[in-house]
Amino acid sequence: MDELERYRQELDEINAEIHRLFVKRMEISEKVAAYKVENNLPIYQKNRENQILQKLDDQEEKYGKYTKALFKKMMELSRARQNEVRGFYGLLGEKLSHSYSIEIHEALGCPNYNLVEAEEDELENVLGNGEYLGFNVTIPYKRKILEYCAEWSEEVKDIQSANTLVKQVTQKEDGTMDYHWVAHNTDVLGFQDMMKFARFDLNGQKVVILGAGGVAMAVAYAAHVAKAREVVLVSRKGRDNFSNLDRHYDAEVIVNATPVGMAPNLEDEIVDLRLFSKCKAVVDLIYNPHRTRLLQKAETIGIPCIGGLYMLVAQAAHAETLFWGKEFDAKTIRSIYKKLSFEKRNLVLIGMPGCGKSVIAKAIGKMSGRQVVDLDEEIEKQVKKSAEQLIWEKGEAYFRTLETEVLKKVCQMKGIILATGGGTPLTAKNKQLLKADGYVYYISRDIRQLDMEGRPLSSDDTIETLYRKRLPHYQACMDTFFINDSTVSAIAQKIWMDFEQNA
């Protein structure tokens, strides 16, 4: 046996022993987790881990930094396993049917996360449930919840609002265990992370925050930390309110911290951005839909803007750090944000009748596994008549009204491929609905190749006239366009690849 082979054999023996001891360590970690759950103890105990790492530092061995890195990783893996067998965490609020929190926290490594809907008079009982070790808190309880918290973080003391609770367990003099809730606010960190991601600098800017609730206070706190020149909170009844908003038309950054525009009320718009001539950035903390009417207006005017999904993911990551000690870097937060955005957004096809929307949608659906929805088919299902029949019998105005009603329902769906009718984007309301959660593709095709057979709106106009009328509407609605000048498979592949990259 040569010398190298002997070394390798020794390493194999050591690896086998490390594996045996690691398995034993994980088994003991599971027992520790079970004990912690039974006794309402938190999984992450920072002092205990710091003591272990300090002992390694004190030894000052040759491979100290490598040993420390190994032990940090082992403790992280132990926490992850304990996290799987521990108690529960959840989002506490009044109405949570539209929440993405379970998906986000599962992506962050928290498998035991629930949505906990409660009325105000039920809060005490919910917090007394021994199974829960931590909560995220959303509207309308971010301030009310402080009544049940014995300890507040410094941010909470300033903001008077909390969005994260962590159960703190202590041992009393008689040896029995007691617990209390510690209030934190990760909205501040989440908002700061989102500003970095969007590259919005609040330093020296006049920031107008629409709303005066818990999350608005967190944004105001973050704006002051960022050294904003002026921070204004606009409420319904305060000194700065919506009736005297003209005092602040010089706002440079506008943040919507109200629910106005949140699904399912997609048509609501809190202010007219055209009145704010100095506005450089618009932030809407709403994450559902992806693009509120406010954000769509900002895009139309040309003002940089961002919705609240990134902040939602970032604040959840900071909450998980409080729950069980694992820290998440910006790369991880961005990855979860992009994945969630991609999964929730609809791929929408618009264009002239006969341009190939329906067949392309089916091809994309087949390659992606996404549900395909054809708007004309949905209308036909509802009234048992084709679009052509409806228009001939009741007129175009009736059909367009019905089309919008059906579109409202369809646009509540997430992650679909939507093929629209040729005239769907003609109204402002329909444009807004399509863009709310949709990434919109205009399918352009040589008008000489359009298949107009059986098309209901082509009788009074030539194809050229119809095209000239509709093109500005398609351009106003689209995010981008593709020319349908190849096979269905080829154009579908191009669109899907673009959607994967940009949605």
DSSP per residue over 393-418, as a string? Answer: HH-HHHHHHHHHHHHHHHTT--S-EE
Q: Is residue 80 very low, low, confident or very high in pLDDT (cuts 50, 70, 90)?
A: low
> Model pTM greater than 0.85?
no
- pLDDT top residue among 83 and 94: 94
Please state, in angstroms and rounded to a whole number, the distance separating the CA atoms of residues 295 and 450. 34
Which CATH code, of 1.20.120.1200, 3.40.50.620, 1.20.59.10, 3.10.105.10, is assigned to 3-82? 1.20.59.10
> Residue 449 gets which letter from DSSP?
G
Share of the chain above pLDDT 90, in %: 65
Share of the chain above pLDDT 70, in %: 92
Please give the pLDDT value at position 263. Answer: 86
> Boundaries of CATH 3.40.50.10860 in the chain?
88-185
Asked if residue 264 has a cis previous peptide bond (ω within 30° of 0), the answer is yes
Residue intervals in the chain for CATH 3.40.50.300: 345-502
Tokens encoding 24: 């034993």
Please report which confidence band the pLDDT of residue 238 belongs to, taking 50, 70 and 90 as the band edges.
Answer: confident
* Residue 106: its H or E element: helix 101-107
Report pLDDT for 458: 47
Q: Is the pLDDT of residue 94 over 90?
A: yes
The residue-averaged pLDDT of 382-390 equals 84
Answer CATH for 345-502 from 3.30.200.20, 3.40.50.10300, 3.20.20.210, 3.40.50.300: 3.40.50.300
Flag the least confident range among 17-31, 117-131, 305-319, 457-471.
Answer: 457-471
Please tell me the distance from the alpha carbon of residue 6 to that of residue 1, in angstroms, as a whole number: 7
Q: How far apart (Å, rounded) are the C-alpha atoms in residues 473 and 439?
A: 16
Helices (H) and strands (E) in the chain, counts: 18, 16
Query: Where does the chain hold its CATH 3.40.50.720 domain(s)?
Result: 189-307
Between 326 and 49, where is the model more confident? 326
Q: Which fold has domain 88-185?
A: Rossmann fold (3.40.50)
Domain covering 189-307 in this structure, CATH number: 3.40.50.720
CATH 1.20.59.10 residue ranges for the chain:
3-82
**What are 346's strand-pairing partners?**
438
Q: Does 160 have pLDDT greater than 70?
A: yes
H or E segment and range at residue 436? helix 428-437
- Say what the pLDDT of residue 475 is: 97
Q: Which residues is 117 bridged to in the sheet?
A: 93
Strand 164-171 with 132-137, pairing: antiparallel
pLDDT tens across 121-151, in order?
999 999 987 778 899 999 899 999 999 999 9
pLDDT given at position 26: 81
Mean pLDDT of the chain: 89
Is residue 228 within 8 Å of 207, Cβ to Cβ?
yes
Q: Residue 287 region, left (φ>0) first, then alpha (ψ -120 to 50), else beta?
A: alpha
| Residue with more model confidence, 268 or 363 | 363
> Is the pLDDT reported for residue 210 higher than 70?
yes
Q: What is the pLDDT of residue 42?
A: 60
